[in-house]
Amino acid sequence: MLSTASKADLSLLAHVEASQHYPWTDNQLASCFDSGYRVRLLWQDDEVVGFSICQRVLDESTLFNLCVLPQCRGLGYGKVLMADLIEDAKAASDSVIFLEVRASNQTAIGLYLKSGFSEVGRRKGYYRCHDGREDAVVMALSLS
Average pLDDT over residues 83-93: 96
Predicted local confidence at residue 113, as pLDDT = 97
- d(CA 6, CA 27) in angstroms, rounded, equals 14
Please give the distance of CA 76 from its chain centroid, rounded to a whole number.
Answer: 15
Whether the predicted model's global pTM rises above the 0.85 cut: yes
More confident residue, 24 or 101: 101
Binding residues: 105
What pLDDT, on the 0 to 100 scale, is given for residue 48?
95
Known catalytic residues? 100, 112
Cα-Cα-Cα-Cα torsion 42, 45, 48, 49, nearest 10 degrees, comes to -70
Residue type, 110: G
pLDDT in tens, 50-81: 999 999 999 999 999 999 999 998 999 999 99
Q: How far is CA 48 from CA 16, 82, 102, in A?
A: 8, 16, 24
More confident residue, 103 or 17: 103
Virtual torsion, Cα 131, 124, 22, 37, nearest 10 deg: 170
Question: How do residues 13-50 score in pLDDT, each as one tens digit?
Answer: 898 988 887 777 888 898 899 878 999 999 999 999 99
Phi first, then psi, for residue 72 (nearest 5°) are -110, 0
CATH of domain 2-142: 3.40.630.30
Say if residues 13 and 37 touch (Cβ distance below 8 Å). no
Binding site for acetyl-CoA: what residues are annotated?
Answer: 105
In eight-state DSSP terms, residue 1 is: -
